[in-house]
Structures are given as structure tokens and as C-alpha cells.
Chains A and B, each alone.
Chain A
Amino acid sequence: GIQVEQSPPDLILQEGANSTLRCNFSDSVNNLQWFHQNPWGQLINLFYIPSGTKQNGRLSATTVATERYSLLYISSSQTTDSGVYFCATPNQGGKLIFGQGTELSVKP
């Protein structure tokens, strides 16, 4: 089955810094989602981005499907950005295959 790998596994930033999180997948996909799991455990949808680029405030995402990767950009990071970021893609049965996540800590 498809494999999803994320990097880096951990990231510590000073408030105001920018960062790029990467998601590689082993096969072609027709859906790629990014989620943020906040410190309270909630999974928040960030982007549905099978291809191209989308922006939402300080966050943006780009998926290059032909090269099997997606990037999540966080600009001017804030302490509320802390948590774990997951990318995920569904298999043919609809089950989401998650990466292992990037744990982000933003220090004031």
C-alpha cells in the first residue's frame, strides 16, 4: 500500500519564524490533506490539496503530484501554531493513510 513520510519529525521555532514541512508519498494520489492536531488533541482540517497551491492566512500548501510530495508553509509562526501536523491520503477504500507527523513547538 501507499507509504506517507513526513519530515522533519520535530521542529522548534521562535515566534515569528517561518517553516516548511514536507510530506512524501510513495505512489500517485488523488487527494492529499493536511491536518493540525492541537495540544487538546483535536484534528483540524487545514487543506485539501490534491495538486497546486492554496493559501489560508499565514498558512499555505503546495502539492506536486507528479513528484509525489506536498509542502506546508507556516509564516510568522505563533505559539498557537504548536502541535502536530499530519498529512494524509486515502486509499481506494477511503481509509486515510497518515504520515507520522511533524511535532512543532513555537516558543514565545
Chain B
Amino acid sequence: EAQVTQNPRYLITVTGKKLTVTCSQNMNHEYMSWYRQDPGLGLRQIYYSMNVEVTDKGDVPEGYKVSRKEKRNFPLILESPSPNQTSLYFCASSFDREGSYEQYFGPGTRLTVT
């Protein structure tokens, strides 16, 4: 089954404790990205990757890191989480369909930083 998976689905952590949210897709997509969703602010892009070893900042990259060492994986790293990073996070992947991008989302990760 074609899918995007994320782990963990739920996480409660404390300020400053490094964490990684994994994302994996089995569709051989070149393009992957991370979004966060907050009430009143909608979905905002954090980072994206056009292919292996190619990453770039989205709209809200501060406090996050990513890596793209393999085509299927795109982990999101919070080196020193803070309470303002409490959010619902989505990983997405897509392919370039004739200049367009049909995107598929993972199930989401609810992160709470206390």
C-alpha cells in the first residue's frame, strides 16, 4: 500500500530534550516536506527536499533541522524543543507530475513540549 508513515504519532516531552520525528514514504517520490499546523495559523511549511541531499527552508524553519540521506526518509529534528513548538506536524511527499505536485500526507504527529 502506497503511504507516508510518521513516528511517533503522539509525543509529550520537556523543554530542551532533543527529539526526532521520522517520516518515510514507499512511493519513490523525489519531493518531501514538513508542515506544522496551529490553530488560527493554518498549515505552514517548515522544510522541504527536492531530492536526496537537497533540502531547503520553508516558511518557519527556526528551531528545526532535517536531513535527506535516502530518498524514502526525511526526519525532522528538534535539537532543543521549546513550548512554542507544540503543534501538529505533518510530513508530505509528492512527485512532479508535469510541473505539478500531487501531495500525500502522513497521519500526523501531535507534539507537546512542556
Residues of chain A at the chain B interface (Cβ within 8 Å): 30-31, 33, 35, 41-43, 45, 48, 50, 86, 88, 90, 93-96, 98, 100-101
Contact = CB atoms under 8 A, between A and B. Distances in A.
Contact of A90 (B42, B58, B59, B100): B100
Contacts of A94: 31, 33, 48, 50, 94, 96, 101
Contacts of B92: 96
B48 A96 contact: no
The range of chain B's interface size is 20 to 34
Q: Mostly helix, strand, loop or mixed at chain B's interface? A: strand
B45 interface: yes
Contacts of A88: 103
B107 interface: yes
Interface in B51-98: 58-59, 88, 90, 92, 94, 96-98
List 6 tightest A-B contacts by C-beta distance, closest first. Answer: A31-B100, A43-B105, A90-B101, A30-B100, A94-B101, A48-B102
18 contacts: A30-B99, A31-B97, A31-B101, A33-B103, A42-B105, A42-B108, A43-B90, A43-B108, A45-B104, A45-B105, A88-B103, A90-B100, A93-B48, A94-B48, A94-B101, A95-B59, A96-B43, A96-B45
A31 B43 contact: no
Interface of B: 31, 33, 35, 42-43, 45, 48, 50, 58-59, 88, 90, 92, 94, 96-105, 107-108, 110
B31 to A, nearest CB: 5
A41 B100 contact: no
Contacts of A43: 90, 105, 108
B110 to A, nearest CB: 7
Contacts of A35: 105
Interface centre among A90, A98, A101 (most CB of B within 10 A): A90
Contacts of B58: 95
A50 B100 contact: yes
Contact of B107 (A42, A45, A50, A90): A42
